[in-house]
Amino acid sequence: MTNFIYAPEIAKLGHVALVSANIEKSLWFFKEILGLEETAVEDGTHYLRGWGDFEHHSLSIRSGDTSYIDHIGWKAKRRDDLEQFASLLEEKGTNVDWIESGVEKGQGRAIRFQLPSGHKFEIYYDMEKPKGEGKNKTLLKNQSHKAWAKGISARRIDHVNIATNAELEPVSNFITNTLGFKLREYLVDSDDKQLGAWMSVTNLVHDLAVMKDPNAPTTHQMHHLAFWLDNAQDMLRAADILSEHEVEFVGPGKHGISQAIYLYVIDPGSGLRIELFSNGYLIFEPDWEPIKWTLEDKIALTYWGENTSQANRSTIKG
């Protein structure tokens, strides 16, 4: 058994690596409609981020025969946490692959591994933090890009939601017990089995959620990727922009779980569902007790507004 001076920790969600079957449509959607900024293009991979994201990228997109999520990247709190996590994961029987510095543009050395569900995670520490240049340069020293340059202009990446057709508890337990996430809210069925788990390493209600989807084609699907908008007025503006470009969406509405305003839209290039997300609450209590919801709690997923069951399902593997 490895003895740690401290437990390795994940600091935040870093990025999602998307492979798109129609990269032209995906780039149009993410750059022109969602308003993400492109920081680099290398070996066919486009690196994007929101105007409030500081690291080199929060989304990468490359072309593929089919659409899927190559990996979800998480930033460690300390550089030494990479070795610590690698040892911890291997002790628990999880295979770990080391990714050398520079393989992913702007990123230092990293580890990759799979959850019990098959979802591929990456943990890194070092990442470049370039500033926007030229027309993208902002007057604000505490911001990476000029805001409202184009499209919806999402501020930053917010969270990821993954789906599985397998039992949920082994996945959520691995995430909390091995990776150090805290369970914030959860939904159970009539047999008290988890249908959804919302977990975080920050003060957010969730940096990561896991959903049970019996109709999912695999154990490792992507439910959605979320980007943050500052307020409900930004959400209404986003709805106008999507309508003007004849892009269908579901919402706006408000979740009971997380208390956030939502709007769901599908990337036309990859089929990935994107959630635009705002106004959720923050958790500062160190002794927070997870909130339990049941199927009888009709407001859990939709407090008001267009029902989330009407949102188109993401069709890509996670």
Tokens of 121: 């995670």
d(CA 26, CA 32): 10
Residue 44 falls inside a structural domain: yes
Examine the domain organization and report whether 164 and 67 are in the same domain.
no
Examine the domain organization and report whether 53 and 194 are in the same domain.
no
Domain end, chosen from 136, 166, 195, is at 136
Residue 277 and residue 198 in contact, taking contact as beta carbons nearer than 8 Å: no
Residue 168 falls inside a structural domain: yes
CA-based end-to-end distance of the chain: 31
Q: Which helix (H) or strand (E) is 233 found in, with range?
A: helix 232-244
d(CA 288, CA 279): 20
Examine the domain organization and report whether 162 and 286 are in the same domain.
yes
Per-residue confidence (pLDDT) for residue 2, from 0 to 100: 56
User: For strand 273-278 and strand 221-228, is the pairing parallel, antiparallel, or unpaired?
Assistant: parallel
Per-residue confidence (pLDDT) for residue 241, from 0 to 100: 97
Per-residue confidence (pLDDT) for residue 310, from 0 to 100: 55
Name the residue with tokens 């969406």.
Answer: 249
Per-residue confidence (pLDDT) for residue 311, from 0 to 100: 56
pTM of the prediction? 0.94
Examine the domain organization and report whether 20 and 102 are in the same domain.
yes
Residue 256 sits in a domain of what CATH number?
3.10.180.10
Examine the domain organization and report whether 122 and 250 are in the same domain.
no
Tokens of 165: 């057709």
Examine the domain organization and report whether 236 and 276 are in the same domain.
yes
d(CA 188, CA 192): 5
Integer-rounded Cα radius of gyration of the chain: 19
Contacts of 211 (CB under 8 A, 6+ apart): 161, 162, 163, 164, 168, 195, 196, 223
d(CA 275, CA 178): 27
Q: Residue 232 gets which letter from DSSP?
A: H
Contacts of 145 (CB under 8 A, 6+ apart): 37, 49, 50, 51, 52, 132, 136, 137, 138
Residue 143 falls inside a structural domain: no
Per-residue confidence (pLDDT) for residue 318, from 0 to 100: 77
Cis ω for the linkage preceding 252 (within 30 of 0): yes
d(CA 155, CA 229): 6
Per-residue confidence (pLDDT) for residue 309, from 0 to 100: 64
Examine the domain organization and report whether 296 and 177 are in the same domain.
yes
Examine the domain organization and report whether 195 and 265 are in the same domain.
yes
Taking the mean position of all CA atoms in its chain, how far away is CA 207?
A: 7
Residue 316 and residue 272 in contact, taking contact as beta carbons nearer than 8 Å: yes
- Residue spans of the chain under pLDDT 50: none
Per-residue confidence (pLDDT) for residue 6, from 0 to 100: 73
Number of domains in the chain: 2
Residue 191 falls inside a structural domain: yes
Residue 55 falls inside a structural domain: yes
| Strand ranges in the chain using DSSP code E only, listed in sequence order | 10-20, 37-42, 45-49, 59-63, 68-76, 97-99, 110-114, 120-124, 156-164, 182-188, 194-200, 208-212, 221-228, 249-254, 261-266, 273-278, 291-294, 304-305
Residue among 164, 146, 130, 150 at smallest CA distance from 58: 130
Residue 186 and residue 197 in contact, taking contact as beta carbons nearer than 8 Å: yes
- Each residue of 29-41: b (16+ CB within 10 Å) or e? bbbebbbbbebee
Structural domain range at position 41 = 10-136
Per-residue confidence (pLDDT) for residue 5, from 0 to 100: 66
Residue 149 falls inside a structural domain: no
Examine the domain organization and report whether 291 and 204 are in the same domain.
yes
Using alpha carbons, list the distances in angstroms from residue 56 to 9, 53, 224, 277: 21, 8, 22, 22
Examine the domain organization and report whether 166 and 122 are in the same domain.
no
Per-residue confidence (pLDDT) for residue 181, from 0 to 100: 97
Examine the domain organization and report whether 292 and 208 are in the same domain.
yes
